[in-house]
Amino acid sequence: MSMRFLLATLLTAAFAFIAGMFLPWWSIAIVSFLVALFLLPNIGLGFLSGFLGIFILWGFLSLWIDLKNESILSGKIAQIIPLGGSSILLILVTAFVGAIVGGFAAMAGSSLAPVMVRK
């Protein structure tokens, strides 16, 4: 794990957060793609970085919201979804759904990274 990987992961989370304030939810894909494109030419690491970046962002945000909300809503939604009413499971599912999109988008970015470097 290099510093570059850590940087890319944190940047993915940070930029995705900022983008999310103005753009639809799928802006996480654009951000993950771009960060990997510029920072991570390794496809495997790219996937992992996008995955982790968004996992951390969505996991942290939903956990924070849930704590402030005292799990009032997550307990109900986790019956509709259905996760047996478990707020923690719902937070993990939330983080995973975002992460899988971020991971594949970052993988696409990493795949093109050498092209960027040559230019």
Partner 1 sequence: MLMRIIPFVISLVVTLGLVFALNTKIGTIPPLGKFLSPQQGFWQNAEPCDARLDEDLRFPDLKGKVKVYMDERMVPHVFAENDEDVYFVQGYLHAKYRLFQMEFQTHAAAGRLSEILGNNPQIINYDRLQRRMGMVYGAENELKAVAKDALTQKVYDAYTAGVNSYINSLSAGNLPVEYKLLDFRPEPWTNLKIALFFKVMCSDLAGQEYAKDISFSNEKSLFSKEEMDMLYPQVSDSSVSIIPKGTIFESPSVHPEIPANADSFYLQKDSIAEPVKVPKPFEVKGSNNWVVSGAKTKSGAPILCNDPHLRLTLPSIWYEMQLHTPTMNVYGVGFPSVPGIVIGYNDSIAIGLTNAGRDVMDYYQVKFKDASRNEYWYKNQWQAAEHRIEKIKVKGGATIIDTVAYTVFGPVTYDRSFTTADSNTNKALAMRWTAHDPSNEVLTLIKLNRAKNYSEYSQAIKEFACPGQNIIFGSTNGDIAIWQQGKFPARWKNQGLYVMPGEDDTYSWQGFIPQGENPHVLNPPDNFLQSANQRAVDSSYPYFIPGDYYVPRGRSIYRQLSQMQDITPQDMMRLQGNAYSTLAGDAMPLFSKYLKTNELSDNELKYWEEVSKWNFEYTGQERAPTIFQTWMDSLESVIWSDEFTQASKPVTIPSEQILLENLLRDSAFRFVDNINTPEKENLYQDVTLSFKKAVGELVKNEDGVIWWKHRNTFIQHLLRDALPAFGRTGLMCNGWSTTINALTKTHGPSWRMVIHLTKPIEAYGVYPGGQSGNPGSKFYENFIDTWATGKYFTLWMMHENESSDKRIIGQINFTNS
| Exposed / middle / buried, residue 96 (Cβ in 10 Å: 0-12, 13-18, 19+) | middle
Q: Please tell me whether residue 15 binds partner 1 under the rule CB under 8 A.
A: no
Question: Residue 2, interface with partner 1 (CB under 8 A)?
Answer: no
User: Which backbone phi and psi does 37 adopt, to 5 degrees?
Assistant: -60, -40
49 forms part of the interface with partner 1 (CB under 8 A): no
119 binds partner 1 (CB under 8 A): no
CB of 54 closer than 8 Å to CB of 66 = no
Instruction: Using CB under 8 A, pick the residue from 26, 88, 116, 117 that binds partner 1.
Output: 26
Task: Based on the shown chain and the rule CB under 8 A, indicate whether residue 99 belongs to the binding site for partner 1.
Answer: no
76 binds partner 1 (CB under 8 A): yes
72-80 and 43-69 helices, crossing angle to 10°: 120
Residue closer to partner 1 (CB basis): 39 or 107: 107
State the sign of the Cα–Cα–Cα–Cα dihedral 116, 6, 92, 76: negative
Taking the C-alpha atoms of residue 88 and residue 77, their distance in angstroms, rounded to an integer, is 12
The site for partner 1 (CB under 8 A) is made up of: 17, 20-21, 24-26, 29, 33, 43, 47, 57-58, 61-62, 65-66, 68-70, 72-74, 76-77, 79-80, 93-94, 97-98, 100-101, 104-105, 107-108, 111-112, 114-115
